[in-house]
Amino acid sequence: MSTPVIVDEVDGGPAAETFPRTGPLAVDWIAEVPEAVLMRIPPGGDTAAPLEAWESLTAEGFRDRVRTLARGLIGLGLERGDRLSIMSRTRVEWTLLSWASAYAGIVVVPVYETSAPTQVEWNLTDAGVSLLVVEDAALRAASAVDELADVDRPDALVIDEGALARIEEAAASVDEERLDQRAASVEESDLITIVYTSGTTGRPKGCAISHSGFLQGIDGPLAIIGERISASDSPSTVLMLPLAHIFGRVIEASTLLSRHVLVHEPDMTHLVQAFATHRPTYIGSVPRVFEKVHASASAAAQAKGERGAKVFAAAEATAVEWARTDSPGLGLRVRHALFDRLVYRKLRAALGDECRTIISGGSALSEHLSDFFAGVGLEIIEGYGLTEVGVTSANPPGRTRVGTVGVPTPGTRMAIDDLGEVLISTQARMTEYHANPEATQAAFTGEWYRTGDLGVIEDGYLRIIGRSKELIVTAGGKNVAPVVLEAGLLQHPLIGQALVVGDNRPFIAALLTLDAEAAPAWARTHDIPEGTDLASHPTVLASIQEQVELVNQEVSRAESVRAWRLLPQEWTVESGDLTPTMKIKRSVIAERTHDVIDEMYENRRR
Share of residues in the chain with pLDDT > 70 (%): 98
Residue 200 — pLDDT band, cuts 50, 70, 90?
very low
Q: What CA–CA distance (Å, rounded) separates 30 from 283?
A: 21
DSSP conformational letter for 45:
G
Does residue 274 lie within any of the structural domains? Answer: no
Residue pair 286/360 in contact (Cβ under 8 Å)? The answer is: yes
Pick the most confident of 129-138, 502-511, 591-600. 129-138
User: Residue 315: which domain range?
Assistant: 285-353+356-394+405-467
Of 460, 394, 449, the C-alpha closest to 421 is: 449
The amino acid at residue 29 is W
State which of 268, 301, 324 marks the end of a domain.
268
State which of 467, 496, 517 marks the end of a domain.
467
Predicted pLDDT at 504: 83
Please tell me the total count of domains within the chain: 3
Residue pair 185/103 in contact (Cβ under 8 Å)? The answer is: no
Residue pair 456/403 in contact (Cβ under 8 Å)? The answer is: no
Residues 110 and 189 both lie in one domain: yes
Spatial CB neighbours of 391, under 8 Å, sequence gap ≥ 6: 217, 220, 221, 250, 361, 383, 384, 385, 409, 428
DSSP line for 584-605? B-HHHHHHHTHHHHHHHHHHHH
Three-class secondary structure of residue 19 per DSSP: coil
- Helix, strand, coil distribution of the chain in percent, nearest 5: 45, 25, 35
What are the tens digits of pLDDT across the range 457-506?
999 999 998 877 787 878 877 778 888 899 899 999 999 999 999 988 89
What is the total residue count of the chain? 606
Spatial CB neighbours of 596, under 8 Å, sequence gap ≥ 6: 511, 565, 567
Does residue 21 lie within any of the structural domains? Answer: no
Q: What CA–CA distance (Å, rounded) separates 167 from 237?
A: 28
Residues 551 and 451 both lie in one domain: no
Predicted pLDDT at 38: 98
Does residue 22 lie within any of the structural domains? Answer: no
Residues 479 and 534 both lie in one domain: yes
Give me the CATH number covering residue 519. 3.30.300.30
Predicted pLDDT at 202: 59
Residue 606 — pLDDT band, cuts 50, 70, 90?
very low
Whether the predicted pLDDT of 436 surpasses 70: yes
Predicted pLDDT at 1: 53
- pTM (whole model) above 0.75: yes
Residues 44 and 151 both lie in one domain: yes
Residues 67 and 154 both lie in one domain: yes
Phi, psi of 317 (to 5 degrees): -65, -40
What are the tens digits of pLDDT across the range 1-52?
578 999 999 999 999 999 999 999 999 999 999 999 999 999 999 999 999 9
Does residue 418 lie within any of the structural domains? Answer: yes
Residues 484 and 431 both lie in one domain: no
Residues 132 and 69 both lie in one domain: yes
What are the tens digits of pLDDT across the range 563-578?
999 998 899 988 989 9
Does residue 4 lie within any of the structural domains? Answer: no
Residue 299 — pLDDT band, cuts 50, 70, 90?
confident
DSSP conformational letter for 447:
T
Residues 476 and 462 both lie in one domain: no
Predicted pLDDT at 231: 95
Does residue 198 lie within any of the structural domains? Answer: yes
Residues 255 and 383 both lie in one domain: no
Residues 460 and 481 both lie in one domain: no
Residues 74 and 87 both lie in one domain: yes
Residues 459 and 498 both lie in one domain: no
What are the tens digits of pLDDT across the range 82-96?
999 999 999 999 999
What string of H, E and C letters represents the secondary structure of 142-168? Answer: HHCHHHCCCCCCCEEEEHHHCHHHHHH
Share of residues in the chain with pLDDT > 90 (%): 80
Does residue 18 lie within any of the structural domains? Answer: no
Does residue 160 lie within any of the structural domains? Answer: yes
What are the tens digits of pLDDT across the range 139-169?
999 999 999 999 999 999 999 999 999 999 9
Give me the CATH number covering residue 335. 3.40.50.12780
Predicted pLDDT at 206: 97
Q: What does R_g of the chain's alpha carbons equal in angstroms?
A: 25
Please report which helix (H) or strand (E) contains residue 223, including its range. helix 211-229
Predicted pLDDT at 198: 60
The larger pLDDT score, comparing residue 326 to residue 202, is at 326
State which of 268, 299, 314 marks the end of a domain.
268
Q: What CA–CA distance (Å, rounded) separates 181 from 510?
A: 59
Whether the predicted pLDDT of 199 surpasses 70: no
Strand partners, 56: 40
Three-class secondary structure of residue 417 per DSSP: strand
Average pLDDT, the chain: 94
Whether the predicted pLDDT of 342 surpasses 60: yes
